[in-house]
A and B are shown apart, each in its own frame.
Chain A
Amino acid sequence: MGKIKVVHYVNQFFAGIGGEEKADQVAFKQDGTMPIGAQLEKGMQAINPDVEFVGTIVCGDSYFNENLEKAKADILEMVKSYEPDLFIAGPAFNAGRYGVACGTITTEVQEQLGIPVLTGMYKENPGADMYKTKVYIVPTKDSAAGARDAIKKMAPLGVKLATGQEILASCIDNYMPNGIRKNFFETKRGSERAVEMMIKKLAGKEFVTEFPMPDFDRVDPNPAVKDMSKARIALVTSGGVVPKGNPDRIESSSASKYGEYSIAEFDDLTEATHETAHGGYDPVYCNQDSDRVLPVDVLREMEKAGRIGKLHEYFYTTTGNGTAVLNSVAFAKEFSQKLVAAGVDAVVLTST
């Protein structure tokens, strides 16, 4: 088996260029490794001597986040130039922008180049929630003091990914649970584990549930809209309003996809132009007048009257009403980025 080539991505700090003041460092590549990369390489070589860190890509956290498209494109080219078997970013520990950059670039490399990727960060790092269901993220301590621990966990998973071995359950291969349930055999039977968990819970000690309930955590409310007369308002609905004929076949409940449709030239939704993907006699009301689910008529009037600045051209639609609606979480993550990019100031979400 030839060399197992690895490319490593670090920010300005871990490249020894500097701290915040150097965060605008433009992305560049350089053969060989940075100190943190050398430790990672040594850790992986201890498991598989064929591993070699052929190149390091350095990019300032500010430069990356402020020139997202360009940085991504340039870095993809740099990665491609090495033709690596594995792309590692970080570990970012608790550095927020670095963590988000690691998550973004690894997802990009995985999706665009099909190269196995790995990163690591603290579980509270914003990048963790954003990307743990997309790429493997090793949970690390919250500061660089946890480097040895991070490397001890990233090295074996890195070798497995680079050599195409089967990735087992999250608690075995040390990555953040990513929502994909994988079976394995415990050393103790379930009832014994239940008794141990009960004793810890009663003693107020920390325990790890084997199946986390869908998150019911809260998200802090955003500040109010300051000047509604200048605000761009977007409509989103889980009521399944779609153009007549449901062109994208959105299913009638808990849809597996969402729709993005323009209402630019509509002042009113009518029986001829729109309907709902919901099946059954249920849709009669919405099919007659989809404004009953998506209030385009009223918002258009308010736009003309100057009550709101602009009714955003696109609305986003899906179906589903259960509390634990997994798919719609992924949809919302995706189209929210589009709403942010389009400068939307607030969203009116209607659901049936």
Chain B
Amino acid sequence: MVYNFKIITNNELVFEKYGKEFEVDYKPGSFEELLLRVRDEVHNGAKLLTHPLTGSIKPNETPFKTVYVKKGKGATNIDYDSVVMIENAIITTRKFKIRFPVMPDNVRADFALIDLSLMESAISAVTQA
């Protein structure tokens, strides 16, 4: 089935789980780099489907973030709320000092799992839209 949304993530678990079924734009990188990728999509007309700051774990704590966006129809029609939301999310992310520059693998794995589970809770809603 072809869906009208795509998943932007820096979380390999999300790519492994959803990569075959949905369009997953996966690239490793920091939390903020991921938000900047989402911003570029929004500037090109994409509409946010999930909030860029999901989860109460802070942007400087978890290295992983996944965002669902509805594919855009080009840069000439922009979704206002998405532009404001992603820019505010970047501002908010910038407030925090990166807390765990060195992170043991087991901690990284747990963060990846939490990010995946946050997104699982939205997958049924997104596929119905």
**Touch A–B, Cβ below 8 Å:** yes
Contacts from A to B (Cβ < 8 Å): 252-254, 279-282, 320-326, 352
The residue of chain B having its C-beta at the shortest distance from the C-beta of A279 within the complex is B36
**B36 lies within 8 A of A253 (CB):** yes
Is B39 interfacial (CB 8 A cutoff)?
yes
The residue of chain A having its C-beta at the shortest distance from the C-beta of B40 within the complex is A280
Which of A252, A281, A322 has the most B CB atoms < 10 Å from its CB?
Answer: A322
**A254 lies within 8 A of B87 (CB):** yes
Sort A-B residue pairs by CB-CB distance and give the 8 closest, nearest first: A322-B87, A280-B40, A282-B40, A322-B88, A321-B87, A254-B91, A253-B90, A279-B36
**B87 lies within 8 A of A253 (CB):** yes
**B interface, by DSSP: helix, strand, loop or mixed?**
helix
**A320 lies within 8 A of B87 (CB):** yes
**B88 lies within 8 A of A253 (CB):** no
Q: Using Cβ atoms and an 8 Å threshold, which residues of chain A touch B91?
A: 254, 320, 322, 324-326
**A282 lies within 8 A of B44 (CB):** yes
Give the total number of A-B pairs whose CB atoms are below 8 A apart. 38
The answer to whether residues A352 and B43 also contact, given A253-B36, A253-B87, A323-B84 and a CB cut-off of 8 A, is yes
Q: Using Cβ atoms and an 8 Å threshold, which residues of chain B touch A252?
A: 36
**B84 lies within 8 A of A253 (CB):** no
Which residues of B15-61 are within 8 A (CB) of A? 36-37, 39-40, 43-44
Is B83 interfacial (CB 8 A cutoff)?
yes
Of the A-B pairs whose beta carbons lie under 8 Å apart in the complex, a sample of 29, sorted by A's number, is A252-B36, A253-B36, A253-B39, A253-B87, A253-B90, A254-B87, A254-B91, A279-B36, A279-B40, A280-B36, A280-B37, A280-B39, A280-B40, A281-B40, A282-B39, A282-B43, A320-B91, A321-B83, A321-B87, A322-B84, A322-B87, A322-B88, A322-B90, A323-B84, A324-B88, A324-B91, A325-B87, A325-B91, A326-B91
**A interface, by DSSP: helix, strand, loop or mixed?**
loop
The residue of chain A having its C-beta at the shortest distance from the C-beta of B75 within the complex is A285
**B90 lies within 8 A of A254 (CB):** yes
A136 to chain B, nearest CB (A): 24
Q: Using Cβ atoms and an 8 Å threshold, which residues of chain A touch B88?
A: 322-324
In whole angstroms, what is the CA distance A282 to B37 when docked? 9
B94's contact among A254, A280, A281, A282, by CB below 8 Å, is which? A254
In whole angstroms, what is the CA distance A253 to B39 when docked? 9
In whole angstroms, what is the CA distance A252 to B94 when docked? 12
In whole angstroms, what is the CA distance A320 to B36 when docked? 12
A146 to chain B, nearest CB (A): 38
In whole angstroms, what is the CA distance A164 to B17 when docked? 58
Q: Using Cβ atoms and an 8 Å threshold, which residues of chain B touch A279?
A: 36, 40
Q: Using Cβ atoms and an 8 Å threshold, which residues of chain B touch A282?
A: 39-40, 43-44
In whole angstroms, what is the CA distance A253 to B94 when docked? 10
B55-88 toward A: CB 8 Å interface, digit per residue (1/0)? 0000000000000000000000000000110011
Q: Using Cβ atoms and an 8 Å threshold, which residues of chain B touch A326?
A: 91
Beyond A322-B88, A322-B90, A324-B88, 18 extra complex contacts between A and B, CB < 8 Å: A252-B36, A253-B39, A253-B90, A279-B36, A280-B39, A280-B40, A281-B40, A282-B40, A282-B43, A282-B44, A321-B83, A321-B87, A322-B84, A322-B87, A323-B84, A323-B88, A325-B91, A352-B43
